[in-house]
Each structure stands twice: as C-alpha cells, then as structure tokens.
C-alpha cells in the first residue's frame, strides 16, 4: 500500500501515471448512492450506519475505477458529539443548533472521544479496510475555521457575518472555540488513522472568504497546531489541505507541514507553483463534466501537463462533483486522466 501512486504523489515521488480521486465521489450523482440513502432514511443516519456507509464508500471504486476511496461521512458529524444538533434539510443544507454564541456556550462544548462517541465512524473504516485491499482509504475532517463558521452561522452562509464579527469582536470566545475545535480534530483524525486510513484531507473549505491578514492571525495557528501534532504522532501519514478560492492564502499555507495543497479551479496551477513547493491536488472545474468528451480531454491534458511541474500531483476536481453529473462522464474522466498521464510520461 505504501507504494500506491496516490501516496507516492503525496510524498513527491515519481509515479507511472497521475492518480485521481474526486471530492464527493460517493454522492448523489450515483443512482446506487441514492438507493442506499433512501434505504438508510436520512443522510445523518447513513453516516452512522457502518455497513451502509462502507457500501457507499466503495461505490466509486466499482463504478468509475477511482484510485482511492474516501470515508463516507461528513465534516459536521463530530459536531453532534460536541453537543450541537445537526440536521440536513432538503434544499436548505445543514442546520446547526444551538449556535456557539456566548463564551458559556463554548465552555459547555465537549471534546468528543472518538472511540466512545463516534464508534460508527471507526467501524466504517474497519469495514472498508477489510474489503479495500489494493487502494488507499482517505480519512478527513473539517478544519476549525470551516467548522466554527457552521457553528456560529447555524448553517451555510453567504457573507460569514457571525463568524467574522465573532473573530474580531470576541477574541476570547474565538480562541476558546478554535482551540476546542483544534483539539477535537486532532483526536478525531488520530482515531481515524488508528482505525486504518492511509492518508487524510483537512477541509478548510471556506477559508478563502478571509483576507490574508485575518487568515494568518485568526485561523492559521489552529490549523498549524493540528498538522504539527498529527505529524508528530503519525509522520508517515500524508496530509492534504484544501479550501476553495484560496489562491491568496497559498504562501501562508505553504508554511504548514502538510504534504499536499488542494486547489480549486480558479487557482491556476502555474500561479500556485510560484507560491508553494508542496505536491498539489486538483483542479478541474466540476462543471467541465457537462462538456463534450473532447473538451473534457483537452482540459484534463492541460492540467496534467501543468501538474508534471509540481513536486507531485493528485488529480481531482476543484470542488465536489455536482449531483446532476452523468456517472459516465465521471468514468470518462478517470479513464482519461489515466490514459493521458501515461502518454505524457512516454
């Protein structure tokens, strides 16, 4: 397993082809996913059902021949065990209650003990690892800022008014919340690694809404704490750090001891490579999968050529695959990445 192309690319070693996985690869674009989800009841119930969650995790391995599996769960799952109600309302996205608005709310939040509080996640990993022996399994967590923004906003947000104003106006609450989240993420990811995941991705999806100064001062130190602690505990496990619209934060994030930086499609690879010396992941616009195959192949080729200049390259979309995507196009993408990247290496 140590020599799988995804792990080699993460470490910056040469590979025979460019490996690929896709964010949200086990999602609603797949008919089998939709069937299993209906069987489970709600999305949260599916996340807490190890047998079905493992089944769903393996769908893209079987259906589109992807190079790695990603644990089927959600970044909001551990928040429930901190003492927050999390629900998903059809068409509205996640709803979180109560919001972490006062210092006493934050003081009441618990740091989950994964083995005791989140056993279904660890059991899912063990079930997947039993069945998936030839490819890596990716574990993941949200990063403190993205999690804090859901907790403070009570759900998805457009302008992040609650998150940013708390960050500026209530430094004590902010530090208490971000520290608690950092601790939660360290223990959560450690437990996933102990259960068997081969690499991890830290999703700081919304960090790009912050200015560089704010990010550096109010967010970076907590992510750095997580990365340093994980690297101390598990130096051999590669870490991917990802966020959307975060080109202006590349130089700052290059200081993290992560192995791979995930790029969205607006952050062009040559621009990124002038600013970072890590391996890269990305970065095809998810909407490209609605274009004709010829256009998909052209775009893929461009990214693969640019990616050859990076320390290592893991192909991915620049954000999650969209629910209306035709699964045949997802399969075409995987095949094209494999074919063209082999060709380019001669």
Active site residues: 24, 28, 37, 74, 150
320 belongs to an annotated ligand binding site = no
275 belongs to an annotated ligand binding site = no
Positions in 213-242 near ligand CP3 (CB under 6 A): none
In contact, 75 and 141? CB cutoff 8 Å: yes
CB of 188 to ligand CP3, least distance (A): 13
Q: Which residues, at least 6 apart from 90, have a Cβ–Cβ distance to it below 8 Å?
A: none
Three-state DSSP class for 260? strand
24 belongs to an annotated ligand binding site = yes
In contact, 69 and 137? CB cutoff 8 Å: yes
CB of 28 to ligand CP3, least distance (A): 5
25 belongs to an annotated ligand binding site = yes
243: nearest Cα among 143, 327, 152: 143
Q: Select from 140, 174, 215, 222 the one that contacts ligand CP3 (CB under 6 A).
A: 140
26 belongs to an annotated ligand binding site = yes
36 lies in the site for ligand CP3, by CB under 6 A = no
195 lies in the site for ligand CP3, by CB under 6 A = no
In whole angstroms, give the CA distance from residue 298 to residue 304. 10
336 CB-side CA count, 13 A: 22
- Is the CB of 156 or the CB of 211 nearer to ligand CP3? 156
Give alpha helix (H) positions in the chain: 5-11, 31-40, 43-47, 50-64, 77-80, 103-108, 114-117, 119-131, 144-153, 161-169, 171-195, 212-218, 220-233, 250-253, 269-273, 293-307, 327-344
In contact, 333 and 292? CB cutoff 8 Å: no
Tokens describing residue 115: 């083995």
- Is the CB of 88 or the CB of 271 nearer to ligand CP3? 88
In contact, 156 and 93? CB cutoff 8 Å: yes
147 lies in the site for ligand CP3, by CB under 6 A = no
Positions in 283-342 near ligand CP3 (CB under 6 A): 320
Q: Select from 15, 18, 29, 37 the one that contacts ligand CP3 (CB under 6 A).
A: 37
Q: Select from 27, 50, 282, 312 the one that contacts ligand CP3 (CB under 6 A).
A: 27
43 lies in the site for ligand CP3, by CB under 6 A = yes
Positions in 55-114 near ligand CP3 (CB under 6 A): 70, 72-76, 88, 93-94
- Residues forming contacts to ligand CP3 in the complex (CB under 6 A) are 23-28, 37, 43, 70, 72-76, 88, 93-94, 140, 156, 203, 205, 320
| Residue set of the binding site | 24-28, 74, 150, 205, 319
């Amino acid at each position: 397993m140590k020599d799988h192309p995804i792990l080699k690319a993460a470490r910056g070693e040469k590979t025979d082809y460019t490996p690929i996985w896709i964010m949200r690869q086990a999602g609603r674009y797949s008919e089998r996913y939709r069937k299993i989800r209906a069987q489970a009841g709600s999305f949260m119930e599916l996340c807490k059902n190890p047998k079905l969650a493992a089944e769903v995790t393996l769908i893209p391995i079987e259906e589109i021949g992807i190079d790695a599996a990603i644990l089927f769960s959600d970044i909001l799952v551990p928040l429930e065990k901190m003492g927050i109600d999390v629900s998903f309302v059809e068409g509205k996205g996640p709803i979180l209650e109560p919001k972490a608005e006062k210092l006493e709310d934050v003081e009441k939040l618990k740091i989950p003990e994964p083995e005791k509080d989140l056993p279904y996640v660890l059991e899912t990993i063990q079930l997947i690892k039993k069945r998936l022996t030839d490819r890596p399994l990716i574990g993941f967590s949200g990063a403190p800022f993205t999690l804090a923004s859901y907790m403070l906003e009570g759900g998805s947000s457009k302008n992040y008014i609650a998150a940013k104003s708390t960050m500026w106006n209530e430094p004590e609450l902010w530090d208490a919340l971000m520290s608690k989240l950092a601790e939660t993420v360290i223990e959560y990811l450690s437990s996933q690694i102990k259960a068997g995941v081969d690499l991890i991705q830290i999703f700081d999806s919304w960090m790009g809404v912050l200015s560089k100064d704010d990010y550096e001062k109010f967010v970076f130190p907590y992510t750095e704490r997580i990365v340093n602690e994980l690297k101390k505990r598990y130096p051999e496990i590669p870490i991917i750090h990802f966020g959307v619209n975060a080109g202006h934060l590349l130089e700052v994030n290059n200081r993290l001891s992560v192995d791979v930086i995930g790029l969205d499609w607006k952050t062009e690879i040559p621009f990124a490579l002038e600013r970072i010396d890590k391996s890269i992941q990305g970065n095809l616009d998810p909407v490209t999968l609605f274009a004709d195959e010829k256009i998909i192949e052209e775009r893929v080729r461009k990214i693969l050529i640019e990616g050859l200049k990076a320390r290592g390259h893991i192909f991915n979309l620049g954000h999650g695959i969209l629910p209306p995507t035709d699964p045949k196009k997802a399969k075409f993408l995987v095949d094209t990445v494999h074919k063209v990247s082999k060709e380019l290496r001669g």
